[in-house]
Amino acid sequence: MNQEYKGYDTTIVYDYKEHPDAVSGRCDNCGNAHFKSSVKDTIFLRECRQCGMKKSI
Protein backbone atom coordinates (compact mmCIF):
# COMPACT_ATOMS: atom_id res chain seq x y z
CA MET A 1 0.00 0.00 0.00
CA ASN A 2 1.42 3.36 -1.00
CA GLN A 3 0.92 5.80 1.90
CA GLU A 4 0.90 9.57 1.41
CA TYR A 5 2.29 11.70 4.25
CA LYS A 6 1.63 15.37 4.89
CA GLY A 7 5.25 16.28 5.67
CA TYR A 8 5.30 16.55 9.46
CA ASP A 9 8.74 16.19 11.03
CA THR A 10 8.63 12.84 12.86
CA THR A 11 11.85 13.53 14.80
CA ILE A 12 10.21 16.09 17.10
CA VAL A 13 7.39 15.77 19.65
CA TYR A 14 4.40 18.01 18.95
CA ASP A 15 2.37 19.46 21.82
CA TYR A 16 -1.33 18.58 21.56
CA LYS A 17 -2.35 22.03 22.88
CA GLU A 18 -0.50 23.73 20.00
CA HIS A 19 -1.30 21.05 17.38
CA PRO A 20 -4.66 19.38 18.13
CA ASP A 21 -5.77 16.49 15.90
CA ALA A 22 -7.20 17.63 12.57
CA VAL A 23 -9.45 14.54 12.70
CA SER A 24 -10.06 13.36 16.26
CA GLY A 25 -8.17 10.17 17.10
CA ARG A 26 -6.23 10.07 13.84
CA CYS A 27 -2.63 10.90 13.00
CA ASP A 28 -2.26 14.32 11.33
CA ASN A 29 0.59 13.03 9.15
CA CYS A 30 -0.84 9.81 7.69
CA GLY A 31 -4.41 9.42 8.99
CA ASN A 32 -3.68 6.18 10.85
CA ALA A 33 -5.71 5.42 14.00
CA HIS A 34 -3.26 3.03 15.73
CA PHE A 35 -0.86 4.46 18.29
CA LYS A 36 1.75 3.35 20.82
CA SER A 37 1.38 5.11 24.15
CA SER A 38 3.85 5.72 26.94
CA VAL A 39 4.13 7.83 30.08
CA LYS A 40 7.37 9.41 31.28
CA ASP A 41 7.71 12.05 33.99
CA THR A 42 3.89 12.51 34.05
CA ILE A 43 3.82 13.25 30.29
CA PHE A 44 1.59 11.04 28.12
CA LEU A 45 3.22 10.44 24.74
CA ARG A 46 1.30 9.11 21.74
CA GLU A 47 3.25 7.74 18.75
CA CYS A 48 1.72 6.72 15.44
CA ARG A 49 2.46 3.05 14.66
CA GLN A 50 2.68 3.75 10.93
CA CYS A 51 4.73 6.93 10.46
CA GLY A 52 6.14 7.59 13.96
CA MET A 53 4.70 11.08 14.50
CA LYS A 54 4.65 11.87 18.24
CA LYS A 55 2.39 14.11 20.32
CA SER A 56 2.49 14.86 24.03
CA ILE A 57 -1.07 14.85 25.30
- pLDDT tens digit sequence for 4-43: 799 999 999 999 999 999 999 999 999 999 999 999 899 9
Q: Is residue 6 part of a domain?
A: no
Question: Is residue 51 one of the residues assigned to a domain?
Answer: yes
Question: In the chain, how many domains are there?
Answer: 1
pLDDT of residue 42: 92
Dist. CA 22–CA 50, nearest whole Å: 17
Predicted model pTM: 0.86
Per-residue pLDDT tens for 42-51? Answer: 999 999 999 9
Indicate whether 1 belongs to any domain: no
With CA atoms as reference, report the closest residue to 56 among 17, 15, 27. 15
- The per-residue pLDDT for 4 is 78
**3 assigned to some structural domain:** no
Domain that holds residue 25: 13-56
